[in-house]
A and B are shown apart, each in its own frame.
Chain A
């Protein structure tokens, strides 16, 4: 059976939210969610993150005011684009910046309080598979 795993890209400031989302998505859909935010000094574990991306079905990008201007997040997105990994932008808070600019061409999932994100991500994956 194919291993279903997604990689979660976020800014260090959003790590707590990312962990919560990873747990929710895994519990609800059985997807393995890898999450490696850089340390708060922004010394990014870029290499190991990219190894995870190499194996992931998709990359979930948490969009927040922090990640919208994060060098680490941008680097991972550009890498994911280069290797052709499906990118799922998830808007967690209103934001704009270089990272959102680079995701202009994609459909975004909007995270809302009380609405399970796992279902939206599952639908997104299903839709892309169907296409």
Chain B
């Protein structure tokens, strides 16, 4: 067993549940667990928290309605990703929010009443690390009036196996679904007006000189790019505005830093 600890990322509102979880992991599995228990936030607090993440074997993300919208949890997860540390989302209730969007693609654990969650966590810890890291390839800013959350703007992430060189990547490297809730089916979930359950999706393709993003419509009421209804598919350019079931902008597309340059550097 690794001597490294497990870091638990959570919202204070779930602290009693987290204490139970930590006790379970320590007492029954002998795992070292780190989670913050102080009430004040200051430089020392954040410094210790950052180090605890950086030295963790994995981060257990306790997902609830509270944590899914927590800026602090969001920053912990973004920091974890930068460190390329494994994240194991543990859903304690049905929820959606920016934190869910970041981890939607990861292997998850669903916590149910009466169920022993320990074997599931142990199993998740032992899963082969097929995917070393993921990185943003594009961003969609969701227009405030149509969203249930206001940050983050990054939505298009891709997991790339550590051992793969950029040239070995498959031509099509990702697909992101847009539609009505729930977020389990859609990477971008918008509960509004004429948005269909599965409204549109964005495909990411590797080209010789970088990455291209193509939006496909599969709705009844149409998908609009810069106010014009698209027939089937359309390549997205920096700053394009997308309307779902209406011409008004609901999403704004932007390349991420990694793909903005003509010759994309995948940072592997």
B residues adjacent to A (C-beta < 8 A): 41-43, 45-47, 49-50, 71-72, 74-75, 78-79, 98, 141, 143-144, 151-153, 252
Contacts and interface: CB of A to CB of B under 8 A. Distances in A.
Given A101-B79, A104-B79, A105-B74, A74 B252 contact: no
A115 interface: no
Interface string A97-127: 1110111111100000000000000000000
Contact of A71 (B42, B71, B72): B42
Given A71-B42, A81-B71, A105-B71, A131 B50 contact: no
Contact of B75 (A69, A97, A104, A107): A104
A131 B43 contact: no
A69 B43 contact: yes
B78 A105 contact: yes
Secondary structure at the B interface, as helix, strand, loop or mixed, is helix
A78 interface: yes
Secondary structure at the A interface, as helix, strand, loop or mixed, is helix
B252 A70 contact: no
B79 A98 contact: no
B75 A131 contact: no
Contacts of A71: 42-43
A105 B75 contact: yes
B31 to A, nearest CB: 25
Interface string A47-68: 0000000000000000000000
B151 A98 contact: no
Nearest to B53: A101
A81 B150 CA distance: 13
Interface string A63-102: 0000001110011001001000000000000000111011
Of the candidates A70, A103, A105, A131, the one having the most CB atoms from chain B within 10 angstroms of its own CB is: A105
Given A107-B153, A131-B143, A98 B46 contact: yes
B42 to A, nearest CB: 6
Contacts of A102: 46, 71-72, 75
Contact of B50 (A78, A98, A107): A98
A106 B47 CA distance: 19
Q: Top 10 closest A-B pairs, CB basis?
A: A98-B46, A104-B78, A104-B75, A105-B152, A71-B43, A98-B43, A105-B74, A105-B151, A98-B47, A131-B144
Contacts of B42: 71, 74-75
Contacts of B75: 101-105
Nearest to B147: A131
Contacts of A131: 141, 143-144, 252
Contacts of A104: 74-75, 78-79
A105 B78 CA distance: 7
A70 B47 CA distance: 11
Nearest to B153: A107
A70 B79 contact: no
